[in-house]
Structure 1
Amino acid sequence: MVKRITHEDSACGVARPLDAIGDGWSLLIVRDAFGGLRRFGEFQKSLGLAKNILAARLKHLVAYGIMDAVPASDGSAYQEYVLTEKGRGLFPLLVALRQWGEDFFFEPGERHVSLVDRQAGRPVAKMRPRSEDGKVLQPEDTVVTMRPVRGGKRKTD
């Protein structure tokens, strides 16, 4: 088996987070947490994932500060998994991934789930990268550059 490398020293904002969320199961766990699931058994039932793999993914998400393991809200001896601020910060990524999937992985007219504004009952608007003045940006309108260091420590959770 090939040893997985770490991106912890990468200066790239795409590469570094992959150590925390690069596994598809991890993103599906986070998706389900946004949907209100909190208990190990709920995640297991939703994903059909082997218990040992689910346990490892949850432990990983907790270790990276994406989820917290907290005492069960019903006072039982169980624990629940809740998204941290860092975990909730994944919401735009999941929305963008969902919208990309809807655009490119379903046949026209094929049924699929979609994200809807709870109050308005309408689909969520397409996510689009924008410049500071609001202009929609295309890939050719952007360039990756090294960002200058601005004092202080990096936020870790």
Structure 2
Amino acid sequence: MNIPNDKNKALKATYKRVMVPNYSPTGFIPERAKGSYVWDKNDKHYIDLGGGIAVNCLGHSNPDLLKALSIQSKKIWHVSNYLANESATELAKSLTDLTFADKVFFCNSGSEANEAAIKIARRFHYLKNDSKDEIISFTNSFHGRSLLNITLGGS
């Protein structure tokens, strides 16, 4: 995208020089965002129809999320799955109360979640001593960037 007086030009050139082209980036570089909108350095706004690759469904700069993040960040930022923590336990309890699930496994990404689901399914059937050991997936579909997920999608 060639915008007159494009303030993104130098950054775009640097991006092309130093970044691996994993995705084909848009023609603009976002500078700020609020709700479902993003603005570039030229103050032109766009609708974020991708929701930050689907991980931002509650919108950018959501005031409730900002408040919760601020409160939590002053307590403890991250403890991983190696340690139990109050917030994760409360969320897991809410999810099991509101859904069909008996237990919850938190993941950092869709790739990790897909891999975990496959491992859990395989373990479940292994413990039942049955022969269900095949995974069904869609060919040429996106399941994530890990080797297992790329293989699963056949791409």
Whether TM-score is above 0.5 comes out as no
Bucket of the pairwise TM-score, normalised by the shorter protein: under 0.3
Larger RCO: 1 or 2 (CA < 8 Å, sep 6+):
1
TM-score by length of 2: 0.25
TM-score by length of 1: 0.25
